[in-house]
């Protein structure tokens, strides 16, 4: 097709404005019939379209529709780089260590007629970033989308990104970050974790904190622009400031969470107060600052209609919900756990949110968990509100 050779297990998918050669899903099914991207000769995961679409949208807002240079050091088929070029106006490099992935990237660049816009490479990700840095090319955007943890690539990315550039990171080792494997969390992310009712937010804050600490070691401040949880992965975007002073300022927001298992009370701590530790769990170090830059996310939402991007409206709705819930900084509570402590039946989530708002508190649903609520109400007020709602339903 169009001079680009297809293997027998290939198909052509369409995502956004990109066309890409990718493995036929029916060739790589598990016994339960679900497609397993890791079994295919090259990695293409259709579930990650959401991740790639959010990326295109944010880049459009951050770089005003074009004129920026990007690196995708772990590119798989190259579909992400192709979308960044076609939809957000970037030019750059798509790289993968696997020789077969490299072949897919080359063919997909040709299929989309982008030979003058994207260059394909076949290096280790860190070597690639190092070489680009030494060549003197200014890099505006680096997208790290590895298998599992992004930590092996953070220092090199922080070192290689240009002034004011943006780094995006995907982490799929959620079991480690959610504390199913505390030792691995300590090893990879340098943080003590616990199984808590807000474990998905704890994992995100540990990831963000660990990235900020690793980049600070290179005198680079990586300020979070947006960080969220989706499906089975975390995603975070950071603006890079090459300033030791700014890195020091960001480290002010690396702290701990004090958590009382019996009452579910949670509190941020800027530093460790050892005498508090016996009764409460202390988790961290982790990021205790904001997980969103409302201005940039507002611009990204607006750019969707302004630029008529071929992106599902649900992406803008997702970002709008994040804007609302992140007005509240306290980690979310799980309603089923709250009800257990209050000894009441579980009410509808919307009812308890309304009741807390009527009392003058902020309250919202959370994207982290369908059973979760976010609120700035103190724990006693939340428990009291649950008990009252139970009585009024009797
Ligand atoms: C999750 S996939 C990337 C998917 C791609 N970014 C997308 O959006 O479709 C991770 C890729 O990293 C590649 N990889 C693993 N270790 C690498 C390394 N050290 N350097 C470069 N690529 C690597 C794998 O071959 C794989 O294609």
pLDDT (tens digit, 9 = 90+) per residue, 34-71?
888 888 889 999 999 999 999 999 999 999 988 999 99
Question: What is the rounded CA–CA span in Å between residue 3 and residue 5?
Answer: 6
138 C-alpha to ligand 1 centroid (Å): 22
DSSP helix, strand, coil percent of the chain (3-state; round to 5): 40, 25, 35
Residue keyed to tokens 């070691």: 217
Atom number, ligand 1, closest to the C-alpha of residue 101: 27
Ligand 1 pocket mutation, candidates 146, 148, 153, 170, criterion most atoms within 8 A of CB: 146
Mean pLDDT of 18-41: 89
Residue with CA closest to ligand 1 atom 4: 76
322 C-alpha to ligand 1 centroid (Å): 28
Half-sphere exposure of 265 (CA within 13 A, CB side): 12
Q: What pLDDT does residue 273 have?
A: 67
185 C-alpha to ligand 1 centroid (Å): 22
Ligand 1 pocket mutation, candidates 16, 38, 75, 150, criterion most atoms within 8 A of CB: 75
Q: How confident is the model at residue 7 (pLDDT cuts 50, 70, 90)?
A: confident
205 C-alpha to ligand 1 centroid (Å): 24
Q: What pLDDT does residue 281 have?
A: 81
Mean pLDDT of 156-166: 97
Q: What pLDDT does residue 102 have?
A: 98
Q: What pLDDT does residue 345 have?
A: 94
Half-sphere exposure of 79 (CA within 13 A, CB side): 25
Q: How confident is the model at residue 275 (pLDDT cuts 50, 70, 90)?
A: low
Q: What pLDDT does residue 272 have?
A: 75
Residues whose CB falls within 8 Å of the CB of residue 175, separated by 6 or more in sequence, listed in order: 181
Instruction: Evaluate if residue 8 carries a pLDDT over 90.
Output: no
For 333-386, how does the pLDDT look when each residue is reduced to its tens digit (9 = 90+)?
Answer: 999 999 999 999 999 999 999 999 999 999 999 999 999 999 999 999 999 999
Ligand 1 pocket mutation, candidates 118, 147, 157, criterion most atoms within 8 A of CB: 147
Instruction: Evaluate if residue 1 carries a pLDDT over 60.
Output: no
Q: Which residues line ligand 1 (CB under 6 A)?
A: 43-44, 48, 52, 73-77, 79-80, 96-98, 101, 124-125, 145-147
Q: How confident is the model at residue 278 (pLDDT cuts 50, 70, 90)?
A: low
366 C-alpha to ligand 1 centroid (Å): 30
Q: What pLDDT does residue 389 have?
A: 85
In Å, what is the CA distance from 97 to each residue of 32, 36, 73, 128, 158? 30, 20, 9, 10, 20
For 121-135, how does the pLDDT look when each residue is reduced to its tens digit (9 = 90+)?
Answer: 999 999 999 999 999
Residues whose CB falls within 8 Å of the CB of residue 323, separated by 6 or more in sequence, listed in order: 292, 294, 297, 298
When mean pLDDT is compared across 72-81, 168-177, 260-269, 360-369, the lowest value belongs to 260-269
Tokens of 252: 């002010």
Residue with CA closest to ligand 1 atom 13: 74
338 C-alpha to ligand 1 centroid (Å): 41
Mean pLDDT of 201-214: 98
| Residue among 255, 256, 250, 278 at smallest CA distance from 196 | 256
- Are the beta carbons of 253 and 287 closer than 8 angstroms? yes
Mean pLDDT of 186-202: 96
175 C-alpha to ligand 1 centroid (Å): 20
Instruction: Evaluate if residue 280 carries a pLDDT over 80.
Output: no
- Are the beta carbons of 216 and 250 closer than 8 angstroms? yes
Chain-wide mean pLDDT for the chain?
94
Question: Please, what is the Cα angle at 350 between 349 and 354, to 5 degrees?
Answer: 120
Residues whose CB falls within 8 Å of the CB of residue 384, separated by 6 or more in sequence, listed in order: none
Q: How confident is the model at residue 313 (pLDDT cuts 50, 70, 90)?
A: confident
Residues whose CB falls within 8 Å of the CB of residue 305, separated by 6 or more in sequence, listed in order: none
Q: What pLDDT does residue 157 have?
A: 98
Q: What pLDDT does residue 25 have?
A: 86
Residues whose CB falls within 8 Å of the CB of residue 24, separated by 6 or more in sequence, listed in order: 9, 10, 11
For the chain, which domains are there?
10-294 (3.40.50.150), 333-394 (3.30.56.70)
- Are the beta carbons of 269 and 282 closer than 8 angstroms? yes
Residue with CA closest to ligand 1 atom 19: 124
Q: What pLDDT does residue 67 have?
A: 95
Strands 372-375 and 333-334: antiparallel
- Are the beta carbons of 332 and 291 closer than 8 angstroms? no
| Residue among 297, 317, 240, 295 at smallest CA distance from 59 | 297
Burial class (CB in 10 A: 0-12, 13-18, 19+), 137: middle
193 C-alpha to ligand 1 centroid (Å): 28
Q: How confident is the model at residue 2 (pLDDT cuts 50, 70, 90)?
A: low
H or E element in which residue 314 lies: helix 313-325
| Residue among 327, 333, 361, 360 at smallest CA distance from 349 | 333
Q: E-assigned strands of 136-230?
A: 139-144, 161-171, 221-230
pTM over cut 0.85: yes
Mean pLDDT of 163-172: 98
Q: What pLDDT does residue 376 have?
A: 98
Atom number, ligand 1, closest to the C-alpha of residue 79: 9
Atom number, ligand 1, closest to the C-alpha of residue 145: 6
39 C-alpha to ligand 1 centroid (Å): 14
Torsion of CA 279, 284, 285, 288, to 10 degrees: -90
Q: What is the torsional sign of CA 97, 231, 155, 137? A: positive
Question: Helices then strands (H, E): number in the chain?
Answer: 14, 15
Residues whose CB falls within 8 Å of the CB of residue 362, separated by 6 or more in sequence, listed in order: 327, 328, 356, 374, 375, 376
Q: What pLDDT does residue 394 have?
A: 62
């Amino acid at each position: 097709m169009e001079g680009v050779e297809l293997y027998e297990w290939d198909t052509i998918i369409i995502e956004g404005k990109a066309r890409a050669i990718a493995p036929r899903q029916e060739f790589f099914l598990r016994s339960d019939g679900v497609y397993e991207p890791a079994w295919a000769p090259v990695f293409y995961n259709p579930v990650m379209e959401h991740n790639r679409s959010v990326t295109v949208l944010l880049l459009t807002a951050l770089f005003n529709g074009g004129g920026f240079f990007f690196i995708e050091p772990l590119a798989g088929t190259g579909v992400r780089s192709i979308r960044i070029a076609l939809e957000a106006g970037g030019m750059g490099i798509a790289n993968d260590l696997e020789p077969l992935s490299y072949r897919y990237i080359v063919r997909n660049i040709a299929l989309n007629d982008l030979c003058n816009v994207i260059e394909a490479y076949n290096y280790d990700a860190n070597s690639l970033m190092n070489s680009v840095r030494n060549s003197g090319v200014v890099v505006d955007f680096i997208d790290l989308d590895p298998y599992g943890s992004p930590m092996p690539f953070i220092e090199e990315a922080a070192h290689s990104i240009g002034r004011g550039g943006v780094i995006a990171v995907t982490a799929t080792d959620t079991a480690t970050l959610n504390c199913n494997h505390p030792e691995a969390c300590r090893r990879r992310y340098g943080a003590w974790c616990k199984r808590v009712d807000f474990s998905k937010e704890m994992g995100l804050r540990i990831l963000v904190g660990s990235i900020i600490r690793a980049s600070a070691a290179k005198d680079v401040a990586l300020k979070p622009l947006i960080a969220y949880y989706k499906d089975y992965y975390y995603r975070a975007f950071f603006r890079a400031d090459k300033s030791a002073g700014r890195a020091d300022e960001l480290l002010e927001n690396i702290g701990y969470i004090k958590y009382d298992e019996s009452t579910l009370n949670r509190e941020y701590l800027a530093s460790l107060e050892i005498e508090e530790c016996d009764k409460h769990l202390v988790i961290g170090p982790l990021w205790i600052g904001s997980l969103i830059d409302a201005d940039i996310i507002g611009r990204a939402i607006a750019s969707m209609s302004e630029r008529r991007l071929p992106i599902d409206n649900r992406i803008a709705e997702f970002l709008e919900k994040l804007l609302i819930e992140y007005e509240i900084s306290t980690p979310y509570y799980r309603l089923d756990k709250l009800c257990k402590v209050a000894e009441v039946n579980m009410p509808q989530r919307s009812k308890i949110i309304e009741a807390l708002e009527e009392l003058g508190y902020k309250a919202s649903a959370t994207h982290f968990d369908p059973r979760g609520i976010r609120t700035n109400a103190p724990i006693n007020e939340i428990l009291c509100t649950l008990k009252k709602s139970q009585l009024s339903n009797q």
